[in-house]
Structure 1
């Protein structure tokens, strides 16, 4: 249940956070081409201060795309940091823009697929991936079909309130990703719930399956478990930034017809699905996350 504003949010310890939010709000009032220019500049400027993240991004790209030339890999790292800066301002756009302004900058491919899946009344598991524009993608997704989403609660009570308030501008509810019962109940009641299984959530509840050129990436069993318990429809919903300042496109796939009934095969299947979505715009993906941190017993670590 989303709680309201608390007086404690005005405590002096939160003043810097409020200042940052105020600056973000002011920046996203600018025309979109200006916002995009600032976002790209912020991404480039942040790189010298985020050397650890740069190292992680480069390593992930090396592991996933060993066939790329050194120049191609570096170009992908460059694009990723530009996208990182854009993602910050896209978060502000998601939280603070009016619906009419958001609608102006996106189009949808495959909306009928979601309508068809919803018409079965069995619930819909909307598989997503962690693109940098994720917050804005959630807002756009809700304008097409208000739904629920799984997430990790923020450590800061103020930021938890701010992000939840922003996310609920066009969606129904947020579900703690650990709340399996709540997630399944929502699906059984016919709701659509966004779920992103593309990160390394640790060894518990995971199996190892291929992901791009990495043969043993820890892959959550959550998708398989939720599917087995709910028997809901499954499809992908991802949003990518168009080239230039042309806005965004939301891609909605057809419902899966061949999702496996085996835990290992399901992990392999979902990783292939995620790979396909990432390849829509690889420079916009969250490569700065240590996707391959969890390793099989006895295997060498992939990050130094």
Structure 2
């Protein structure tokens, strides 16, 4: 039987002493140093990282432009381009915040963090069937998740990093904050945690290919949307609680939002369920649309294989 990725991670730092890992160690060292800077300076540096990426990461800029154009048709071309640039800056700050999540104790950020709707988590836990925290890929992904664990005990599902050393650092950091760090494909482990009335962070808002999906609207655009959320909720009886996390625009600080569990979920209708999930995440994104990971090809998988690739640039 093939071992799952969950059992083959090597998080021992002693395994990465060979010189080929030294460039990665240098990058990790810079992240560690950056995490010691005052928050305002980190945000400023993050915006500059975003500006550089906007200028030189042409492919990612194009993907972001396509997504913003599809999802915000009500904006003028100038407003769309401004949102694209602001999104790069927000995600640049997110790069700096990875260091905060991995190398700083989130307790130090509690004075500038506000939590909303924690009562929804308490009432859902009282049902004894566990909670699937329905998150999204916001630019505050790592730090927001770290802040969440200051208010609740939770587990997390993660897609392992392609660089084994970076994965070791990321996993060890998350293991300090979360109870269990599950591989994103470890459905059995997820169901076990829910059976034990645990809270598990879970995100469904990316394009995972054509398997096990329906094409539900996301900002009005048909998007390949996985049906696994319905299956998990059906098998476990867990509550599906939407949550999000954003940095505040006009003052240093963060907001964490928990919402009431999805009503009548699962409904038995995969399309209706996926539409509800997408709409729920969409509503959160609209709070701070720049703080979402628009660089991902969310509409890569098309309803028909004959549909044109939305991200292909036309030849001049």
CA distance in 2, matches of 1:100, 1:204: 41
Q: Which residue of 2 aligns with 1:236?
A: 242
Contact 1:90 1:136 in 2 (8 A): yes
Q: 3-state DSSP class of the match of 1:38?
A: helix
Q: 3-state DSSP class of the match of 1:185?
A: helix
CA distance in 2, matches of 1:224, 1:254: 17
Map residues 66-105 of structure 1 onto 2, 5 A cutoff: 66-105=73-112
Contact 2:10 2:164 in 1 (8 A): no
Contact 1:205 1:220 in 2 (8 A): yes
C-alpha deviation, 1:6, in angstroms = 4.0
C-alpha deviation, 1:212, in angstroms = 0.7
Map residues 1-304 of structure 1 onto 2, 5 A cutoff: 4-214=11-221, 216-259=222-265, 260-297=267-304, 298-304=306-312
C-alpha deviation, 1:17, in angstroms = 0.8
TM-score norm. by structure 2 comes to: 0.92
Q: Which runs of 5+ in 1 are unaligned?
A: none
CA distance in 1, matches of 2:200, 2:80: 34
Contact 2:13 2:168 in 1 (8 A): no
Q: 3-state DSSP class of the match of 2:86?
A: helix
Q: 3-state DSSP class of the match of 2:201?
A: strand
CA distance in 2, matches of 1:140, 1:265: 32
Contact 2:39 2:252 in 1 (8 A): no
Q: 3-state DSSP class of the match of 2:176?
A: coil
Contact 1:234 1:255 in 2 (8 A): yes
Deviation string for 1:101-141 (max 9, x for gaps)? 13233110111111111122110010001001100011011
Q: Which runs of 5+ in 2 are unaligned?
A: 1-6
Contact 1:124 1:235 in 2 (8 A): yes
Q: Which residue of 1 aligns with 2:4?
A: none
CA distance in 1, matches of 2:105, 2:152: 17
Contact 2:157 2:202 in 1 (8 A): yes
Runs ≥4 in structure 1, deviation > 6 angstroms? none
Contact 2:135 2:243 in 1 (8 A): yes
Q: 3-state DSSP class of the match of 1:37?
A: helix
CA distance in 2, matches of 1:210, 1:91: 31
Q: 3-state DSSP class of the match of 2:244?
A: strand
Pairwise CA RMSD = 1.4
Deviation string for 1:70-123 (max 9, x for gaps)? 111011101111012101111000011123313233110111111111122110
